Amino acid sequence: MGAKKASPDLLNSSFSFKSLKLKTKQQELLLRVSILGLVYVLAFIARLFSVLRYESMIHEFDPYFNYRTTLYLTEKGFYEFWNWFDSESWYPLGRIIGGTLYPGLMVTAALIYWTLRFLRFFVHIREVCVLTAPFFASNTTIVAYFFGKEIWDTGAGLVAAALIAICPGYISRSVAGSYDNEAVAIFALLLTFYLFVKAVKTGSLSWALGSAFGYFYMVSAWGGYVFIINLVPLYVLVLLITGRYSMRLYVAYNCMYILGMLLAMQIRFVGFQHVQSGEHMGAMGVFLLMQVFYFLDWVKYQLNDTKLFQTFLRITVTSAILVGGIALGVGTASGYISPWTGRFYSLLDPTYAKDHIPIIASVSEHQPTAWSSFMFDYHILLFLFPAGLYFCFKRLSDATIFIVMYGLTSLYFAGVMVRLILVATPAVCLISAIAVSATVKNLTSLLRTKQKVPQTGSTKGVGSSKSSSKVTLDQSQPFQKNGAIALLVGVFYLLSRYAIHCTWVTSEAYSSPSIVLAARGAHGNRIIFDDYREAYYWLRQNTPTDAKVMSWWDYGYQITAMGNRTVIVDNNTWNNTHIATVGRAMSSYEDEAYDIMRSLDVNYVLVVFGGVTGYSSDDINKFLWMVRIGGGVYPVIKEPDYLVNGEFRVDKGASPKMLNCLMYKLCYYRFGELVTEYGKPTGYDRARGVEIGNKDIKLEHLEEAYTTSNWIVRIYRVKPPTNRL
Amino acid sequence: MPARNWIFAVAVALFLSLSTFSSAQDLQIVNAERRIDLSSHIVKAFLTLKVENIGKDPAADMLLAFPPTQIKNLAMVQALAVTGKKKKKTYLPLDVKPSEQPDAPNDAGYFLVSFATPLGPGEAVTLEVLYILTHSLEPFPVEITQSESQLVYYRDSAVVLSPYRIKQQTTFFKTPSTRVESFTSVEPANRAGKEIKYGAYEDRVPYSYAPVIVHFENNSPFAVVEELVREIEISHWGSLQITENYRLTHGGARHKGVFSRVEYQSRRSISGSSSFNALLAVLPPRVNSVYYRDNIGNISTSHLRTGFKKSELEFEPRYPLFGGWKATFIIGYRVPLEDYLFEAPDGRRYLNFTFGCPLVETIVNKLTLKVVLPEGSKDPSAVLPFAVNQDLQVKYSYLDIVGRTVVVLQKDNVVPTHNVPFQVYYTFKPIYMLAEPLMLVSAFFFVFVTSLAYVHIDLNIVKK
């Protein structure tokens, strides 16, 4: 609201509702503000399930890195943070933190923290980090409202805000504790889009400027900004092709692109990619095309001769394409323009990662989306989405074209990668909101015309179109009123099912921190497995401060953040060779692995093992990825050596290499003496449901340093080499 | 080590036979009986002395001497005067304070016990002295494996070190189990079950010393809190918030080699017998909002039992503590204000709370107790039964403008016997209680007035 007040003269047009003429308008405003306020609160509290069910803690893997860096930022200040060389990760390489991360999230949290402290609210930085995601989710609902208002009407805006507030697709990434880049990035994404659409609609420089800053925030927060910088030019291109080119578009795009690009270059991790990377070239091409278009427009205006203009057009377009093509070719050939990255390829071609980059394919959230998860995350929105598209096409405008394009492209990406459901969620919610709003509006106006209520027009929001409803008004059908009532009841039933589904999904599926595992005991009581933190805290307290811990990269961030120890590899998977070395060590025989570990100065090895508790996402189940990634760099490691007839087994029938590799030994060391389940032989692996094949495991170069109470994390000490006398 | 102690003893004896203490010679100890309890890592010694004045002048006080190895580990010395016969004994606490003697032999340390009434010539009095030693059990071997039992040395003297002549004395050492590897023999000395008896020894000259070493098994939890910071925040809105930051370590023989979970969970009786997993904190009654966590989050292994006299919090660190392993954690709780905050007759308010550490049978190497007074409190003063370092700080908490006065009390080497009440007096005007609500009210008021103004003021330049 403050931004609006600051520049009232620029924004005259949007303030007409402020005039005090109509009392009903004030009532409507009050109603709208209170609904928005409730939605704002709802979006926040729905995300607090995780705090209620578990505790106020940071979730999963990446958030731990974000938390650690935020802590550093608040303790040491911005410049120290920006110049931080972290020697605790990627030993012995280290990591330049300032140059390899998107600082938007950390700076946001730190600013909130400093503001609160300034206002004498002495909160802990952890609480700020935990609640950042819900807070920004609440802000997103406000943006969704304005966006919905922009593309359709206020009713659609309100419905969009309500839908996005509890949509599981968004909640899955923004519950309290999910302190990840996406938490603020979705807000930034939607804000940028909203401001850009607004800019295109008004042709105002100020909105375009706002959009550029929104883009800057997005670039600072998440690598997903690439989606914006490709979608916006695509949208502009579509407008150009469909003959919707206007001065408004020219102003909006040029301002947004140039300023946004310059601002984005301030982020060190992004740097000059906007002019050097293949992924950003589309935007530049469209920018140049815009200029050509403008130039042609001008020439056309000057020439006043169609025939002459046609020839000129042909020459200019050909030469422009030629010059552009040559520039691109030369840039790519000389290496000035970098080719597309693997992740980008895998988005366009879902099978690419599986064949070429096992490290991307190994991450579960990079898998192609199953139908069930669409259903799970969108519920009724999945059916409302096509209906919304229908309404959009029926009333085509610059804004609706944008939302249609956003919806369709993001839905495609959501199908390619599970995690990108998140990006599609705002579009799906907005389009579905249009469907709901337009349907309900049509139905209620049907009811009203029958009753001859005098004030039909006045309660409608500002700028709402009456065209869609007027069509149906004139046709009278039998049982129209009853039919309308039945349909309305159906809509409300669907919406209430949606609300119930969202609450259930949030509380049951998306609120687990994945650090702490919960299970139901035999008597229905809740059993907590807190083994991860047990192990990390053990590392933190009882190992030398300079100890190096080797583990699979999944646990790297957690070990550095919670265990405060140096790790060999972590979740920032930038160096494939280093990860492959760890994979190789894990899949080699103990004495070979010992040489690798000695060369990496490893003091402790940490493995995650679910055989006692039946926890299935443990290192044995991830082991084939270690083999694949290790084998991708070191051909000594061959996947078939670990398989028997193409099957991965750990029981007696497993391959000899499997039964004696380091990972197997570390996981199952002395497991053969243990009875895990009543009526089963000793050494029965509950995660895989088999009796293990090698019960007599001897370790030569390593010794058990600690095993957690449920055996989930096992830590081994690497013995110093024996003296050669 | 024994050899060195012998030399030390001989030197002391030689030195002492030459020197004379004028005041010391006026008193003599008719009978001394000492019982040293070695069953936990806090060594408690009960000393019963029958003191007689053989001089001509009344004696107002007497000295207790301790060897330099003990004086630095001495956590507490208490003395009681016993009057009356067997069944109608009454105990009168006496004033004990550390004392410097200029001619102290071999850096011996002293405590001065003041009699309730000066001891006239020829009179006798019975004193009961309790002193507590910390860090006095030395693990040997220094490192043990998971399956080994913990053995410790305890070094002391077979005779009581005293500046006075002792007519007759006996010393008993009580060990936690019957497993005693060895003990120095100073005839007559014998061992029966869990008890080793030295003496009776007749007529020992002042500063007699006969070093002995007892080597025995002690698997009791050596829970040592290296540092404990307790913060007591007074809110006049009805509660006392206590936050305790612990840095706990296992002070016994260091763990060596592997930790095997299989053995730890299946052969619990012989595996890791010196380690400990459960701790008990005695909290005030009517305690509520108890939490137990550490820097990386909540720890879910704790049980609270509330009672009328006391509440007990039974909790486990994240992992069992073996020798040398460390754990840090935070315990926080809230108690109702009316149980602990009172108004003194002179109008001042005072907090009456327990000093020390709520964990049972632990040594605290460094205890810092911070009493955070409400904002606007003045003239704080602390009253304690023993000497502590005092300091004042300022702390900013929610909605504070000038900050809260913090009374910092700091004491080293704290044992459970230090859990005694202490008072902090301060003056406070109740009007200050309203400051924070008023601030919040005015902030909300401001927000509403602004939105009211925003809705009603038309900022457009061009009228439509």
pLDDT in tens, B255-264: 988 899 999 9
Torsion angle of alpha carbons B55, B61, B64, B65, nearest 10°? -70
| Closest by Cβ to B464, choosing from A16, A537, A670 | A16
Please give, rounded to a whole number of angstroms, the shortest distance from the CA of A604 to a CA of chain B.
Answer: 13
pLDDT value of residue A277: 85
pLDDT value of residue A85: 92
Q: Mention every residue, 6+ apart, whose C-beta is less than 8 A from residue A8.
A: A15, B459, B460, B461
pLDDT over threshold 50, residue A7: no
Handedness of CA A81, A82, A87, A89 (dihedral sign): positive
Mean pLDDT of B322-333: 93
Other CB atoms within 10 A of residue B116 CB: 12
- Taking CA atoms, B265 is separated from A670, B269, B271, B273, B317, in Å, by 13, 9, 8, 12, 16
For residues A227 and A233, what is the distance between their CA atoms, to the nearest angstrom? 10
Q: Are residues B142 and B289 in the same domain?
A: no
* B325: chain A residues, CB-CB within 8 Å: 541-542
Q: Are residues B128 and B240 in the same domain?
A: no
Q: Domain end: B177, B195, B217, which one? A: B217
Residue of higher predicted confidence among A722 and B324: B324
pLDDT value of residue A22: 54
Structure tokens at A13: 């047009």
pLDDT over threshold 60, residue B83: yes
Q: Are residues B414 and B310 in the same domain?
A: yes
| Closest by Cβ to A120, choosing from B257, B265, B400 | B400
- A703 lies within 8 A of chain B by CB: yes
Measuring CA to CA, which residue among A108, A118, A167 is closest to residue A141?
Answer: A167
pLDDT over threshold 80, residue B399: yes
pLDDT value of residue A477: 64
For residues B332 and B290, what is the distance between their CA atoms, to the nearest angstrom? 6
* CA A9 remoteness from chain centre: 37
Concatenating the DSSP letter of every residue in A361-376 gives HTSGGGSPPPHHHHHH
pLDDT digits (tens, 9 = 90+) for A223-253: 899 999 999 999 999 999 898 889 999 999 9
Residue B457 inside a domain? The answer is no
For residues A704 and A604, what is the distance between their CA atoms, to the nearest angstrom? 10
- A696 lies within 8 A of chain B by CB: no
Mean pLDDT of chain A: 87
Measuring CA to CA, which residue among B180, B192, B187 is closest to residue B210?
Answer: B187
Concatenating the DSSP letter of every residue in A63-96 gives HHHHHHHHHHHHHH-HHHHHT-EE-SSSTTT-EE
Please name every residue paired with B81 in a beta bridge, in sequence order, or none if there are none.
B92, B127
Other CB atoms within 10 A of residue B324 CB: 16
If pLDDT is split at 50, 70 and 90, which confidence band does A450 have?
low
If pLDDT is split at 50, 70 and 90, which confidence band does A725 have?
low
Angle at A415 between CA A412 and CA A417, to 5 degrees: 115
Q: Are residues B229 and B204 in the same domain?
A: no
**Which residue's entry shows tokens 């139905």?**
A443
pLDDT value of residue A399: 93
pLDDT over threshold 90, residue A360: no
pLDDT over threshold 70, residue A5: no
Q: Are residues B212 and B260 in the same domain?
A: no
- Taking CA atoms, B131 is separated from A658, A682, B301, B325, in Å, by 63, 54, 35, 29
Q: What's the DSSP call for residue A457?
A: T
ipTM value, please give it: 0.89
* B299: chain A residues, CB-CB within 8 Å: 530
pLDDT over threshold 50, residue A84: yes
Please give, rounded to a whole number of angstroms, the shortest distance from the CA of B386 to a CA of chain A.
Answer: 34
| First CA to last CA distance, chain A | 78
CB-CB under 8 Å, B325 with A705:
no
If pLDDT is split at 50, 70 and 90, which confidence band does B18 have?
very low
Q: Look up the CATH number of the domain holding residue B283.
A: 2.60.40.1730
% of chain A with per-residue pLDDT over 90: 56
For residues A220 and A234, what is the distance between their CA atoms, to the nearest angstrom? 22
pLDDT over threshold 90, residue A481: no
Structure tokens at B312: 């007990």
pLDDT value of residue A6: 41
Q: What's the DSSP call for residue B135?
A: S
If pLDDT is split at 50, 70 and 90, which confidence band does A14 have?
very low
Q: Domain end: B188, B217, B246, which one? A: B217
pLDDT digits (tens, 9 = 90+) for A275-312: 888 888 889 999 998 998 898 888 888 887 788 888 88
Residue B14 inside a domain? The answer is no
Q: What's the DSSP call for residue B87?
A: T
Residue B6 inside a domain? The answer is no
Please give, rounded to a whole number of angstroms, the shortest distance from the CA of B215 to a CA of chain A.
Answer: 28
For residues A215 and A280, what is the distance between their CA atoms, to the nearest angstrom? 14
pLDDT digits (tens, 9 = 90+) for A485-507: 999 999 999 999 999 999 999 98
Other CB atoms within 10 A of residue A277 CB: 19
Best A23, A117, A122, A541 member to test B by mutation, with max B CBs in 10 Å, is A541
pLDDT value of residue A534: 93
* B241: chain A residues, CB-CB within 8 Å: none
Q: How many domains are contained in chain B? A: 2
Structure tokens at A576: 């494939």
Q: Are residues B60 and B194 in the same domain?
A: yes
Residue B31 inside a domain? The answer is yes
Q: What's the DSSP call for residue B356?
A: S
Residue of higher predicted confidence among A25 and A192: A192
pLDDT value of residue B5: 52
Q: Exposed, middle or buried, B424 (CB in 10 Å: 0-12/13-18/19+)?
A: buried
pLDDT over threshold 80, residue B389: yes
pLDDT over threshold 80, residue A18: no
pLDDT value of residue A361: 78
pTM: 0.89
Domain containing B190 equals 27-217
Angle at B252 between CA B247 and CA B253, to 5 degrees: 130
CB-CB under 8 Å, B455 with A670:
no
Residues in chain A: 725
Q: For strand A604-608 and strand A548-550, is the pairing parallel, antiparallel, or unpaired?
A: parallel
Q: What's the DSSP call for residue B318?
A: S
Q: What share of chain B is helix, strand, coil (3-state, %, to 5)?
A: 15, 50, 35
Q: φ and ψ at A559, to 5 degrees? A: -65, -45
pLDDT value of residue A565: 93
For residues A396 and A439, what is the distance between their CA atoms, to the nearest angstrom? 17
Q: What's the DSSP call for residue B322?
A: P
| Closest by Cβ to B262, choosing from A12, A16, A670 | A670
Mean pLDDT of B173-191: 90
The amino acid present at A302, given as its one-letter code, is Q
pLDDT over threshold 50, residue A131: yes
If pLDDT is split at 50, 70 and 90, which confidence band does B9 have?
low
The amino acid present at A38, given as its one-letter code, is L
Residue B15 inside a domain? The answer is no
Enclosing H/E stretch for B204: strand B195-204
CB-CB under 8 Å, B397 with A12:
no
Residue B459 inside a domain? The answer is no
pLDDT value of residue B17: 43
Handedness of CA A273, A274, A279, A285 (dihedral sign): negative
CB-CB under 8 Å, B400 with A707:
no
Q: Are residues B185 and B231 in the same domain?
A: no
Mean pLDDT of A84-110: 91
Residue B16 inside a domain? The answer is no
pLDDT value of residue B240: 93
Q: What share of chain A is helix, strand, coil (3-state, %, to 5)?
A: 65, 5, 30
Please give, rounded to a whole number of angstroms, the shortest distance from the CA of B459 to a CA of chain A.
Answer: 7
Q: φ and ψ at A598, to 5 degrees? A: -60, -40
Q: What's the DSSP call for residue A559?
A: I
Q: φ and ψ at A566, to 5 degrees? A: -70, 135
Q: Are residues B129 and B255 in the same domain?
A: no
Q: φ and ψ at A14, to 5 degrees? A: -85, 5
* B459: chain A residues, CB-CB within 8 Å: 5, 8, 15
pLDDT digits (tens, 9 = 90+) for A142-173: 999 999 999 999 999 999 999 999 999 999 98
Q: Are residues B206 and B241 in the same domain?
A: no
pLDDT over threshold 60, residue B304: yes
If pLDDT is split at 50, 70 and 90, which confidence band does A17 have?
very low
Mean pLDDT of B200-227: 91
pLDDT over threshold 90, residue A664: yes
Mean pLDDT of A56-65: 91
Torsion angle of alpha carbons B442, B446, B447, B451, nearest 10°? 150
Count residue pairs from A and B with Cβ separation < 8 A. Answer: 95
Contact (CB, 8 A) for A694 and A664: yes
Mean pLDDT of chain B: 88
- A11 lies within 8 A of chain B by CB: no
Structure tokens at B121: 């010539």
Q: Are residues B415 and B295 in the same domain?
A: yes
* B460: chain A residues, CB-CB within 8 Å: 8-9, 12, 15
CB-CB under 8 Å, A703 with B257:
yes
pLDDT value of residue B8: 53
Per residue, what are the HEC states of A246-279? CHHHHHHHHHHHHHHHHHHCCCCCCCCHHHHEHH
Judged by CB atoms within 8 Å, which residues 662-691 of A form the interface with B? 670, 673-674
For residues A284 and A263, what is the distance between their CA atoms, to the nearest angstrom? 15
Structure tokens at B395: 């702390």
Q: Provide the phi-psi class of A703: left if phi over 0, else alpha when psi is between -120 and 50, else beta.
A: beta
Residue B88 inside a domain? The answer is yes
Q: Are residues B300 and B177 in the same domain?
A: no
Three-class SS state of A122: coil
Three-class SS state of B172: strand
pLDDT digits (tens, 9 = 90+) for A556-566: 999 999 999 99
Q: Domain end: B217, B235, B259, which one? A: B217
Contact (CB, 8 A) for B349 and B369: no
Residue of higher predicted confidence among A3 and A428: A428
Q: Are residues B147 and B277 in the same domain?
A: no
| Closest by Cβ to A530, choosing from B300, B460, B462 | B300
Q: What's the DSSP call for residue B43?
A: E
